[in-house]
């Protein structure tokens, strides 16, 4: 019985080794499963032209301008489209004074658009983009 088990073990071991060598010796390259590189928004959106699409409403916060910002040519023309970005409004060109939840008023402000973390195509944020109301 021991001899039979010994022979059987040797056959299993040699079959496994030859199968492993055959599988590793394949010349067909495996497809890459690495994710597609995302594009940084800083490189895609460098300015916003919004003069013709934004009218201020002093009873509304700047956050209510999000839908108007999203139809600006530089954003709406992105291919593929930007998915669920975060838009923040600042009173300074360094994007330090957040006025997103303040009431709208005429003048210059700066917009920073940040790609959603789940966006398959874009990452990061734009530099502060100046718009005039």
Task: Please answer whether residues 39 and 120 qualify as being in contact, where contact means their C-beta atoms are separated by less than 8 angstroms.
Answer: no
pLDDT attached to residue 103 = 95
In a domain, 107, yes or no: yes
**How does pLDDT run across 80-108, given as a tens digit for each residue?**
999 999 999 999 999 999 999 999 999 99
Q: What is the mean pLDDT of the chain?
A: 83
* 4 φ, ψ (degrees, to nearest 5): -65, -45
Task: Please answer whether residues 99 and 89 qualify as being in contact, where contact means their C-beta atoms are separated by less than 8 angstroms.
Answer: yes
What's the number of domains the chain is made of? 1
In a domain, 20, yes or no: no
**Residue 53: pLDDT over 60:** yes
In a domain, 84, yes or no: yes
pTM above 0.85, yes or no: no
Q: Which of 95, 89, 125, 94 is nearest to 107 (CA)?
A: 89
pLDDT attached to residue 56 = 87
**How does pLDDT run across 17-42, given as a tens digit for each residue?**
555 555 555 566 565 555 678 999 99
Q: Domain span at residue 75?
A: 39-132
């Amino acid at each position: 019985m021991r001899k039979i088990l010994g022979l059987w073990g040797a056959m299993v071991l040699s079959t496994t080794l030859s199968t492993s060598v055959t599988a590793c010796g394949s010349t067909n390259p495996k497809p890459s499963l690495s994710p597609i590189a995302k594009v940084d928004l800083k490189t895609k959106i460098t300015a916003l032209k919004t003069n013709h699409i934004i009218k201020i409403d002093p009873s509304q916060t700047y956050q209510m301008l999000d839908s108007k910002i999203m139809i600006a040519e530089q954003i709406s023309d992105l291919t593929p489209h930007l998915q669920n970005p975060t838009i923040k409004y600042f009173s300074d060109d360094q994007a330090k004074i957040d006025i997103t939840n303040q009431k709208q008023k005429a003048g210059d402000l700066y917009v920073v658009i940040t790609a959603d973390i789940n966006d398959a195509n874009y990452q990061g944020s734009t530099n502060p983009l100046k718009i005039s109301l």
